[in-house]
Structure 1
């Protein structure tokens, strides 16, 4: 008899909870409330600039294909330049390997395969790249260009922008309710509507990387002239508040 009573009690409770939840939801839906959206945006100058650098082998005597400068020699120059610039070794990483055929005078001599190697270098500003590349033999540099930009405190900024957007929503709700001579009550619901992260490439007023093919020494390095587009972080938050 006790087992039957217990089962009947559990059945009654389980049937009651959905009904209770529905009543609670309907009560909340009937509360006088206001729903608003708040927007916030932040612009920051990137402090992490990633460069793609490609080194390739070449011949000191190009015409006769003699005295080849191998990729390991060029890589040592690059690593030493990075160390001399005060950057950690892990600022440089290998992103690719390849090569190309040197088709000079096929009739007299067969084509020679020359190795190439691609790297990604992280620096805090483009001026570092000018100093570094001035210490690498220019004939061994195929290209050096910006691949992407970022900020070391991006996640912190995202949190702050979300908070600012939510505060903006509350401020809006307060002055709208106050205009009706009412007061804002507790928050009932919060939603994140959208996220917008814009990480542009730097806009160059003039080339920030010197002409590698023409530069012969570190004396040729000039100060970089770069105009940055700032990173934009924006959020839109929605909040519902009770009206007292």
Structure 2
């Protein structure tokens, strides 16, 4: 199920001054294909009212209603996290004239659950029955990506050394000691699918999603010394 790809990213051969050994800089790369085990709903709720206080009250009331439905679907409180909360003036500009219409409030909620079709269906149904003005997108993730981190680091380092051995032989030299290692873990990003409030409110709309595997990758930059045979 899992496969690992190795690819050459950057190779430079540098000759130092006469007193120094020549060096070779190699980028080691590793990538692993993983089946996602987590579904992530990014829900964005918005309201508009004439007064600030009413905007806040309505925004909180609708979010509480949504959370109540989500809890009823088996989503625990620790799996519902606010990512953004904002209330600001609702301004309209027309023909160079600024008109204040009232206030607009937004509340963004991230909901995570184990990826199972039943969870996907239950969370979507909760959004529908909450009957609030929102839009949402869905992404898929890996609940514990760190468990693959050490394996990817080892594979990336192995890749760097294998490349270095190949190029040192091709150059007619012997691979020496490692002079330096630079490492920076790659950020993980997941593709998303967007759904509008119109679809969310359509009780007949079915979400049928079969996500592909996600790819985790890592790389390391290694400088090797080279020695004459």
TM range (shorter): 0.5 to 0.7
Relative distance call for 1:210 and 1:73 in structure 2 (3 A) is: same
Relative distance call for 1:208 and 1:152 in structure 2 (3 A) is: farther
Alpha-carbon distance in 1 for matches of 2:153, 2:206? 41
TM-score (norm: length of structure 2): 0.57
Higher strand fraction: Structure 1 or Structure 2? 2
* 1:202 maps onto 2:186 in alignment: no
Alpha-carbon distance in 2 for matches of 1:34, 1:191? 12
Q: What is the CA distance between 1:157 and its match in structure 2?
A: 3.4
Report the secondary structure of 1:144's partner residue: strand
Question: Counterpart in 2 of 1:211?
Answer: 199
Report the secondary structure of 2:31's partner residue: strand
Alpha-carbon distance in 2 for matches of 1:49, 1:74? 20
Q: Matches of residues 48-197 of structure 1 in structure 2 within 5 Å?
A: 49-54=40-45, 74-94=62-82, 95-96=84-85, 98=87, 117-125=107-115, 127=117, 128-136=119-127, 138=129, 140-146=131-137, 150-177=141-168, 184-185=175-176, 187-192=177-182, 196-197=186-187
Q: Contact 1:34 / 1:242 at 8 angstroms: preserved in 2?
A: yes
Q: Contact 1:208 / 1:225 at 8 angstroms: preserved in 2?
A: no
Alpha-carbon distance in 1 for matches of 2:103, 2:20? 74
Q: Aligned match of 1:230 in 214, 217, 221?
A: 214
Higher helix fraction: Structure 1 or Structure 2? 1
Q: Aligned match of 2:27 in 33, 37, 43?
A: 37
Question: Counterpart in 2 of 1:66?
Answer: none
Please, what is the CA RMSD of the aligned residues?
Answer: 4.6
Contiguous gaps of at least 5 residues in structure 1: 1-25, 59-69, 102-110
Report the secondary structure of 2:122's partner residue: helix
Alpha-carbon distance in 2 for matches of 1:191, 1:78? 49
Alpha-carbon distance in 2 for matches of 1:88, 1:81? 11
Alpha-carbon distance in 1 for matches of 2:209, 2:190? 17
* 1:240 maps onto 2:229 in alignment: no
Report the secondary structure of 2:133's partner residue: strand
Contiguous gaps of at least 5 residues in structure 2: 1-16, 50-57, 91-100
Q: Contact 1:48 / 1:150 at 8 angstroms: preserved in 2?
A: yes
Question: Counterpart in 1 of 2:96?
Answer: none
Alpha-carbon distance in 2 for matches of 1:52, 1:126? 19
